[in-house]
Chain A
Amino acid sequence: MTLKKELGAREQIAAVVAGAIILSGIIYWGYQFVVMLEFLEMAYG
Chain B
Amino acid sequence: MELLPFFEWAETSFLGYIGKTYGGVYATFGQSVHLMALAVLGGSVLIADLRLLNVILKDVPSEIVADQAHKWFKVALAVILSSGVFMAAAVAQRMYYNDFFWAKMSALLVGIIFVFAVKRPLLNGTHADIHPMVIRLVAIASILIWFSVAATGRWIGFSG
Contact = CB atoms under 8 A, between A and B. Distances in A.
B110 A7 contact: no
Given A11-B122, A14-B118, A14-B137, A21 B110 contact: yes
B145 interface: yes
Which size class do B's interface residues fall under?
A: 20 to 34
Determine the main DSSP class of B at the interface with A: helix
Interface residues of A, number: 16
Interface in B81-124: 103, 110, 114, 118-119, 121-122
Contacts of B138: 14-15, 18
Q: Which of A14, A17, A22, A28 has the most CB of B within 10 A?
A: A14
Nearest to B145: A21
Interface string B27-63: 0000000000000000000000000000000000000
B144 A10 contact: no
A17 B129 contact: no
27 contacts: A3-B125, A7-B125, A11-B130, A11-B131, A11-B134, A14-B118, A14-B119, A14-B122, A14-B134, A14-B137, A14-B138, A15-B138, A17-B118, A18-B114, A18-B134, A18-B137, A18-B141, A18-B142, A19-B137, A21-B141, A21-B144, A21-B145, A22-B137, A22-B141, A22-B144, A25-B145, A25-B148
Given A3-B125, A15-B133, A25-B144, 20 more contacts: A7-B129, A10-B122, A11-B122, A13-B118, A13-B122, A14-B119, A15-B134, A15-B138, A17-B114, A18-B137, A18-B138, A18-B140, A18-B141, A18-B142, A21-B114, A22-B137, A22-B140, A22-B144, A25-B148, A28-B103
